[in-house]
Amino acid sequence: MQRFRTGAARLALEHGVPVVPVAIRGSYAAMPRGRGWPRGGRFPVSVRYGPALHPGASEEVRAFSDRMRGAIARLMDEDRTTWWESMRRETGGETPDVHGPDGASWRRVWAAMAPIEAPHHRRVWERRSR
């Protein structure tokens, strides 16, 4: 994820409307930067929606933007692990940053290019392997 900007927070505060945080993972692997068309194949893309965030009456733009960023970071963490683990880390202030690993920019791009694993849900009518 690139640098977090304050435009959505500013609009929400000016008009008094809530903001719904959305976390999207796997989109970079499906359509890398600079491509005019998605790559061939079926790359899994995961989308998670969080609860609406309502701006406070006297909340500053930067504070509301930071709250939005924290909500998106928790959703990204939830998508990588589980809901329970992400809530535990958020309570302890240990939620991983949404920008990816620390270090050079190529490292963050490399981490973003890794496709997410598609969950395999066993269908009810499939037999269990014995």
Which of 46-57 are b and which e, b meaning 16 or more Cβ less than 10 Å from the residue's Cβ? bebebeebebee
The three-state secondary structure class of 67 is helix
Rounded to a whole number of angstroms, the distance between the first and last alpha carbons of the chain is 43
Which residues does 36 contact at the CB level (< 8 Å), separation at least 6?
A: none
| Count of domains observed in the chain | 1
pLDDT digit string, tens, across residues 77-87: 888 888 888 88
Q: Give the residue-averaged pLDDT of 30-40.
A: 78
- Indicate whether 126 belongs to any domain: no
- Indicate whether 121 belongs to any domain: no
- Indicate whether 1 belongs to any domain: no
- Indicate whether 21 belongs to any domain: yes
pLDDT digit string, tens, across residues 105-122: 777 766 766 667 655 555
**Domain span including residue 12:** 7-113
Predicted model pTM: 0.73
